[in-house]
Amino acid sequence: MIEKKLFGRTGHLSSRTIFGAVALDKLPQAEANLVLEELLSYGVNHIDTAMDYGDSELKLGPWMKQHRADFFLATKTGKRTYQEAKDDLHRSLERLQTDRVDLWQMHYLINPQQWEIAMGPGGVLEAMIEAKEQGLTRFIGVTGHGLAAPRTHLRSLEVYDLDTVLLPYNYVLMQNPAYAAEFAQLAAVCRERNVAIQTIKSVARGPLGDKEHEYAVWYDPLTTPEGISHAVHWVLGNRDVFLNTPGDVDLLKLVLRAADEYESRPDQVIMDADLKKLGITSLFTGDEM
Half-sphere exposure at residue 188, Cβ-oriented, CA atoms within 13 angstroms? 7
Sequence letter at residue 119: M
Rounded to 5 degrees, what are φ and ψ at 266? -60, 150
Task: Give the integer Cα–Cα distance in Å for 7 and 266.
Answer: 24
Burial 242-275 (b: 16+ CB within 10 A, else e): bbbbbbbbebbebbbebbbebeebbeeeebeebe
Indicate which residues carry an active-site annotation. 53
Contact between 201 and 281 (Cβ < 8 Å): no
Cα angle 51, 179, 145 (rounded to 5 degrees) comes to 10
